[in-house]
Amino acid sequence: MGVAHRSTPTRGRTPASKPAPRRAAAPLPPEVDAWLKAAALDVADDGIVISDATTPDAPIVYVSPSFERLVGYSAGEILGTNCRMVQGPGTDRETVKQIAIALQAGKVFQGEILNYRKDGTPFWNFLRIAPIRDASGRVTHHVGTQSDVTELHQSREREHELRDTVAHASRVRTVAALGASLAHEVNQPLAAIVVNAEAALRFLDACNTEEIREALEAIRDDARRAGEIILRAHRLVRKQPAQAEPVDAARVAADVLEFTRVRLRHAGIEAKLDARATLPRVVVDAVQLYQAILNLVVNAIEAMEGNAPGAPRTLRIAVGAEDGGVRVRVSDTGHGADDESLARMAQTFHTTKARGTGLGLLVTRSLVEAHGGRLEVARNRGRGLTFTIHLPGEDHP
């Protein structure tokens, strides 16, 4: 006997049915719409200010409660005035000027400015001002949103201070590591000064004025050389705020090679500098760029000091132009690095040297990135590594 099969009907929908179209939300009544917008302004975390752009002094016509809380003034004290009321002695006048230029051009301004509350407390204000236009395109009002970013600003300042402190410690360590070379470097001109001074005294007895002149000129030149060596070391160990200015990167690289000349000679390393006659200038702190290149040179020297007898020991610094900026390449013929070490090369405290701290490359990368650049490392085809510093040019936006 056959068994009858019954199909179970699908409840609520058919297999081919489509989802019902969503119904559009009904428009809010005008009074409810206005109430919601006002309520949103009142509860917003950011302070909101609206000013009248049709009046020369741009009086404030609306402030949100959050702006009242931000600055400590009541709406009654603010309305009819302008935003100069929250400026003070530390407010950057150049930023104020840039705000005025943007508003006059009908553009959006966005940036940070130091403002003051009613009780005189300063705070860093992240400000965004945008124009409001009527149907004809005329700017009638400006709306500004304002946020207290003091904690973020202070955090950035602490980060910069920490970076500068670590960089200074690295410079002191580098100078200490080069101490023997520096002593030898300074001792050479000092010894020459003594020899020439004694010769000048003998020539004086013989009244040989020409020989006396030559001896005194040599003393002057050697004294200047010794002074320059000491000055370079002093610049490195002195702790001072960074000061960016247009710098000739090739000149800085040449100074680094001169500073490490004795160490290079004692290690049996041949140093070569390849730089074009004319290069874009880079806006950096000269001491920090000097330190960045010096760190790479010292790393290269230490990498090649372990080479077997007869193995090449060559240091090359190539300074060239790229994309309106400058590229500084420091290449060595040392032991190189494996894939894992290469990937971790710029990480905190990572080092391939038995007595290394791992700070050198970290500091170098930090200094380069602080000036809008980047640091790269790659293996050479033959031996060793090449570190490349990329820096934007003086005219880079």
Evaluated on CA atoms 184, 189, 194, 195, the torsion sign reads: positive
Q: Which two tokens stand for residue 96?
A: 């104020």
Q: What is the CA radius of gyration of the chain?
A: 34
Does residue 180 carry a pLDDT above 60? no
Q: Provide the angle, in degrees to the nearest 10, between the axes of the packed helices 286-305 and 209-237.
A: 90
| Residues ≥6 apart with Cβ < 8 Å to 390 | 322, 325, 326, 327, 368, 373, 374, 375, 376
Does residue 42 carry a pLDDT above 50? yes
Does residue 98 carry a pLDDT above 60? yes
So what's the pLDDT on residue 142? 93
Please check whether the domain covering 242-397 is classified as CATH 3.30.565.10. Answer: yes
Decide: 366 and 298 in contact? Cβ < 8 Å. no
So what's the pLDDT on residue 308? 85
- Angstrom distance (rounded) from CA 202 to CA 200: 5
pLDDT by residue (tens digit) across 305-339? 888 888 899 999 999 998 888 999 999 999 888 77
The number of helices, as runs of H, and strands, as runs of E, in the chain is 12, 12
Does residue 159 carry a pLDDT above 80? no
Q: Which residue is it, tokens 């510093």?
A: 389
So what's the pLDDT on residue 326? 94
Q: Where are the domains of the chain?
A: 36-148, 149-241, 242-397
The CATH number of the domain covering residues in 36-148: 3.30.450.20
Does residue 26 carry a pLDDT above 80? no
pLDDT by residue (tens digit) across 133-146? 999 999 999 999 88
Does residue 241 carry a pLDDT above 50? yes
Task: For residues 217-243, give the mean pLDDT.
Answer: 68
So what's the pLDDT on residue 79? 92
Does residue 10 carry a pLDDT above 60? no
185-189, 293-297, 354-358, range with the lowest pLDDT: 354-358
Task: For residues 259-280, give the mean pLDDT.
Answer: 86
For residue 244, give the amino acid letter: A
For the whole model, what pTM was predicted? Answer: 0.49
Q: Which residue is it, tokens 């508003």?
A: 103
Confidence band, pLDDT 50/70/90 cuts, at residue 396: low
Average pLDDT value over all residues in the chain: 78
Task: For residues 79-95, give the mean pLDDT.
Answer: 90
Decide: 270 and 313 in contact? Cβ < 8 Å. yes
Q: Which residue has the higher pLDDT, 183 or 50?
A: 50
36-148 and 242-397 agree in CATH topology? no
Q: Which residue has the higher pLDDT, 312 or 170?
A: 312
So what's the pLDDT on residue 372? 87
56-65, 85-94, 330-339, 354-363, range with the lowest pLDDT: 354-363
So what's the pLDDT on residue 270? 93
So what's the pLDDT on residue 175? 63
Does residue 214 carry a pLDDT above 60? yes
So what's the pLDDT on residue 348? 47
Q: Which two tokens stand for residue 22?
A: 């969503």
pLDDT by residue (tens digit) across 107-139? 999 999 999 999 999 999 999 999 999 999 999
